[in-house]
Amino acid sequence: MIMPRKPVLFVTVIALFALVLLSGCATGENEATTSVLVSDNGEVQLSLSNEWKRDPQVSKLSILGIANRKQQKYAMVNRTPKSDMAADSTLDDYKKVFTENTRTLLEGYEESNLQQTTVDSSPALLFEVTGRTSEIDVHYIAAILEKDETYYQVVTWTLADNFEANKASMLEVIHAFKLLKEADASASAKAEGDATATVWKKSEDGNVRIKIPKGWTDAQKLSEDATLQAMNAFKEEYMVVIRENKTDLAAGTTLEDYSKAVSDNMDAMLENAEVTDSKETLINGNRALQYEISGEIDKLKIVYLVTVVSSEGHYNQVLFWTLQNRMDGKRDLFANATSTFEAKD
């Protein structure tokens, strides 16, 4: 029986857009004066020389994104509320989440020069990462730091061949970080809003399709067994569809049997797992059972909307997931998308 595996959660998205950025058009910025760059929500700032500019592409995937495209160096600040993590989580736990998710995105991932430091008078872990993404060799310097209610990432990167020339200014960015005010976690989650425009996503064999929010991207590493998979990494929204032929299962396996097996497997995969009662529904004329499973993986609090759909020849697992404190703002989005699922056998 094909079951969901440990999920990928891109608490950091540093490798997802390296190709776009590193191949972007260079501009002529290279002045020596200083400017203060502040995030749109007034949460953080970076005081740097004017060679660094706000960058629209990086900013789409961060709370503050900057670049010097002429010198092919980039930086961004992102945040994770501590409420997204287990109550006993530490800075080391958060770095582990960062590391494991980045490792899934970079070929030849290597980490070096880990050291304890302070950034903005707060404890921080500073380290370098090298790897290859989209045929590009990239070198990162990252700092993970802890404030009262939030973990922050300050991540800088450049082409591997340019690293030595850019290293000093990359470190300058990290140590220029200043917290102005900590944003409210629940307000940040609600501010994302729901996506209203949708597009059909279809499997390669054309046998299943589902409507997902416009702007989601194809995914390859969420599940090795998925027929369909997509995500919006910045908003921590993920979806996979896993199909299993009924003839591969024990004779007489019912929808209830199959759903329980899925639930039991996910319960075992999660720490402190909680499963809601399932409700029966119809998805485009097919019987389905739907429920939520929440828990922790590597100290990160996540929650799934699980829908097991019985089509003529298959059982179909339609799984959406996100961070726990964002689910209230995404539940309707996930449920509406699930209701569009279609399968033909």
The predicted pLDDT at position 191 comes to: 46
Tell me the two tokens of residue 94.
């958060």
Distance of alpha carbon 100 from alpha carbon 304, whole angstroms: 20
Is 192-343 in CATH node 3.40.1000.10?
yes
Three-class secondary structure of residue 275 per DSSP: strand
Letter string b/e over residues 51-63, b meaning 16 or more CB atoms within 10 A of that residue's CB: bbebbeebbebbb
Tell me the two tokens of residue 293.
């499973």
Distance of alpha carbon 225 from alpha carbon 243, whole angstroms: 8
Q: Where exactly are the structural domains of the chain?
A: 18-188, 192-343
The predicted pLDDT at position 1 comes to: 52
Distance of alpha carbon 198 from alpha carbon 214, whole angstroms: 5
The amino acid sitting at 103 is R
Distance of alpha carbon 274 from alpha carbon 323, whole angstroms: 14
Phi, psi angle pair for 259, to nearest 5°: -60, -40
> Which one-letter DSSP state was computed for residue 338?
H
| The CATH classification of domain 18-188, taken from the options 3.30.70.1560, 3.40.50.300, 3.40.1000.10, 3.40.50.2300 | 3.40.1000.10
Q: Is 196 left (phi over 0), alpha (psi -120 to 50) or beta?
A: alpha
- Cβ pair 278, 170 in contact under 8 A: no
**Segment 125-129 long-range contacts (CB within 8 Å, at least 24 positions apart):** 125/91, 125/92, 125/95, 126/174, 129/102
Consecutive H or E run containing 58: helix 56-59
CA dihedral 231→217→207→286, nearest 10 degrees, is 40
Residues 6+ apart with CB under 8 A from 301: 83, 84, 85, 86, 294, 295, 323, 324, 325
Distance of alpha carbon 9 from alpha carbon 7, whole angstroms: 6
The predicted pLDDT at position 97 comes to: 85
Distance of alpha carbon 176 from alpha carbon 120, whole angstroms: 8
- Cβ pair 198, 337 in contact under 8 A: yes
pLDDT in tens, the chain (345 residues): 555 555 555 555 554 445 445 555 555 555 557 889 999 999 999 999 889 999 988 888 789 999 999 999 999 999 888 988 888 999 999 998 888 878 877 889 999 999 999 999 999 999 999 998 878 899 999 999 999 999 999 999 999 999 999 999 999 999 999 999 977 655 554 445 455 788 999 998 899 999 999 888 888 778 888 899 998 877 889 999 999 999 999 999 999 999 999 999 999 989 999 999 999 999 999 999 999 999 998 888 999 999 999 999 999 999 999 999 889 999 999 999 999 999 988
